[in-house]
C-alpha cells in the first residue's frame, strides 16, 4: 500500500506520546457520576468523534455484564465496530509475558533472580551495560536501568524498521538491537525506568529456556487454559486468528486519519505480544488478579505482592493523589480506598484499557482504534476515568 507522505513524522510523534501516556494525565479530581443513571452505551456513543473512530467496552462484575461497541472498525469501508473484533493490545500484554516467566520460575525451569549471563550469549551481554548484575526480575519490573528502545536516541531507528517491509515478521531479536550499546540509566536495582527493551530480553530468555519460541508456551499454559479462544501472539500466530485485525488510526493534519494496521500486523514482540478481544483481555486480568484458581498464590506474590512492588512515582489515572505501584507486568493502585490492578496498552493507532477492581470483582476493558494521538488520547482518558469512577462509587 502507498505510504502517506507524513507517516514517518506522524509515527515519530506517536512514539513520544506513547511514553508520555504512561503518566495518566492530570491529577485533578473528576466529578463522580450518578451510579444509578450511568449509561455505558451512551457513554461510548458520545465518545465517538472524527478522531475516535470506534470503541468496544466491557464492564463485568458478579451478576452483571455490559458488552457494547460504537463507531467504525474501518473508516474507508465504513465497517461498523463489533464486540468480537480484535486488535493489538500493546503493553497491556506485558502481564502475560511476566506471568509465563513466573510460572516457569515456580516450576524450577528458571529463577527470577538469575542474572542475564545465565541464559544469554557473551556477544549479547557485551552490548548491555552492567549485564552481569541484571536479573530477570529487574527486567520485568523496570529496575534494570537498561535503555528503552522507544526513547531517544534510538526511537527514530525503530520507527524506520517498523515502516520497512511491513509484510515481514519482526520479533524480539529483530528489534532488540535498538536497545543495545546504550548507556544505562542507573545501576541495576537502584532506580525505576520503564523500559520495553527489558521485555524483549525476557522474550529471548524464555525462548532459550523452552527451546522454542515462547508463543507456544503462552498458548498451552495460559491462553488455552484461560479460555482466551480468540487471542493470538501477534505476528507469530497470525494464521491462528479467527478474526481479521481491525484498522487503527493516527491523525495527520495533511493526510487525515492514517491507517497503521499494515505496519503492525506482523510485529510480534514480548513487550506487547497479544492481538486480542475485550472479552479475552478481561479474562486474562481477572484470572491473574482475582481469586479464580487459575494462578497460584506463589505466582501472585511474585507478580504483585508487597515485596514485588516498585513505586511508579505518581498516580496512573488522574482521579487519585496516591502514587501507583508497578509489579511484574502489572500496576497495582489504591483508588478511593479500593485496590485496582491495571495495565493499559498504547500502540500507534490503538489504545487498550484493562482494569480489575479487586474489592468488587469488577472488570473494565476498552478498545479504541486510535491511539498515541493528541486528538484521541484525551477522549480515551476521559471515558476511562468516568467509567472507573462510576464503578468505584458503586462499590462504596
User: pLDDT tens, position by position, for the chain (396 residues)?
Assistant: 455 556 655 565 555 444 433 433 343 444 444 445 689 999 999 999 999 999 999 999 999 999 999 999 999 999 999 999 999 999 999 999 999 999 999 999 999 999 999 999 999 999 999 999 999 999 999 999 999 999 999 999 998 998 889 999 999 999 999 999 999 999 999 999 999 999 999 999 999 999 999 999 999 999 999 999 999 999 999 999 999 999 999 988 777 899 999 999 999 999 999 999 999 999 999 999 999 999 999 999 999 999 999 999 999 998 888 889 999 999 999 999 999 999 999 999 999 999 999 999 999 999 999 998 899 999 999 999 999 999 998 776
Taking the whole predicted model, whether its pTM rises above 0.95 is answered as: no
pLDDT value for 31: 45
In this prediction, residue 13 carries a pLDDT of 52
Residue 323 main-chain phi, psi, to 5 deg: -65, 140
Query: Cis peptide leading into 153, omega within 30 of 0?
Result: yes
Residue carrying C-alpha cell 486488535: 87
Q: Which domains does the chain have, with CATH numbers?
A: 7-395 (3.40.710.10)
User: What would the pLDDT profile of 100-131 be if each residue is shown by its tens digit?
Assistant: 999 999 999 999 999 999 999 999 999 999 99
Residue 333's Cβ-side half-sphere holds a number of Cα atoms within 13 Å equal to 25
Note the pLDDT of residue 146.
98
- Between helices 94-106 and 196-210, what is the axis angle to 10°? 40
Name the grid cell of 231. Answer: 487471542
- Contacts of 363 by beta carbon, 8 Å cutoff, 6+ apart: 58, 59, 60, 61, 282, 285, 286, 355, 356, 357
Instruction: Return the residue matching grid coordinates 482521579.
Output: 319
Amino acid at each position: 500500500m502507498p505510504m502517506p507522505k507524513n507517516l514517518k513524522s506522524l509515527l515519530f510523534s506517536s512514539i513520544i506520546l506513547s511514553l508520555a501516556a504512561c503518566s495518566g494525565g492530570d491529577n485533578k479530581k473528576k466529578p463522580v457520576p450518578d451510579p444509578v443513571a450511568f449509561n455505558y452505551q451512551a457513554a461510548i456513543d458520545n465518545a465517538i468523534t472524527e478522531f475516535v473512530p470506534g470503541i468496544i467496552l466491557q464492564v463485568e462484575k458478579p451478576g452483571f455484564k455490559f458488552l457494547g461497541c460504537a463507531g467504525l472498525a474501518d473508516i474507508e469501508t465504513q465497517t461498523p465496530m463489533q464486540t468480537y473484533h480484535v486488535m493489538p493490545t500493546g503493553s497491556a500484554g506485558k502481564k502475560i509475558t511476566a506471568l509465563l516467566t513466573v510460572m516457569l520460575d515456580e516450576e524450577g525451569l528458571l529463577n527470577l533472580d538469575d542474572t542475564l549471563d545465565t541464559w544469554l550469549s557473551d556477544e549479547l551481554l557485551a552490548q548491555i551495560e552492567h549485564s552481569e548484575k541484571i536479573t530477570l526480575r529487574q527486567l520485568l519490573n523496570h529496575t534494570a536501568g537498561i535503555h528503552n528502545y522507544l526513547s531517544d536516541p534510538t526511537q527514530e531507528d525503530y520507527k524506520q524498521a517498523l515502516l520497512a517491509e511491513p509484510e515481514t515478521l519482526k520479533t524480539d531479536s529483530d528489534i532488540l538491537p535498538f536497545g543495545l550499546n546504550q548507556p544505562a540509566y542507573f545501576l541495576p536495582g537502584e532506580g525505576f525506568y520503564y523500559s520495553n527493551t527489558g521485555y524483549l530480553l525476557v522474550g529471548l530468555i524464555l525462548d532459550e529456556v523452552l527451546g522454542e519460541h515462547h508463543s507456544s508456551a503462552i498458548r498451552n499454559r495460559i491462553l488455552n487454559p484461560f479460555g482466551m479462544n480468540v487471542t493470538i501472539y501477534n505476528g507469530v500466530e497470525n494464521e491462528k486468528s479467527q478474526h481479521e485485525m481491525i484498522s487503527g488510526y493516527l491523525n495527520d493534519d495533511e493526510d487525515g486519519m492514517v491507517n497503521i494496521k499494515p505496519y503492525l500486523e506482523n510485529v510480534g514482540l514480548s513487550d506487547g505480544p497479544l492481538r486480542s478481544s475485550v472479552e479475552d483481555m478481561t479474562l486474562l486480568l481477572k484470572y491473574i488478579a482475582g481469586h479464580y484458581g487459575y494462578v497460584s498464590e506463589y505466582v501472585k506474590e511474585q507478580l504483585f505482592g508487597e515485596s514485588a512492588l516498585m513505586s511508579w512515582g505518581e498516580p496512573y489515572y488522574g482521579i487519585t493523589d496516591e502514587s501507583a505501584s508497578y509489579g511484574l507486568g502489572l500496576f497495582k493502585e489504591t483508588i478511593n480506598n479500593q485496590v485496582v490492578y491495571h495495565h493499559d496498552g498504547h500502540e500507534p493507532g490503538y489504545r487498550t484499557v484493562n482494569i480489575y477492581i479487586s474489592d468488587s470483582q469488577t472488570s473494565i476493558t476498552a478498545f479504541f482504534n486510535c491511539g498515541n494521538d493528541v486528538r484521541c488520547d484525551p477522549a480515551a482518558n476521559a471515558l476511562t476515568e468516568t467509567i472507573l469512577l462510576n464503578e468505584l462509587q458503586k462499590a462504596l
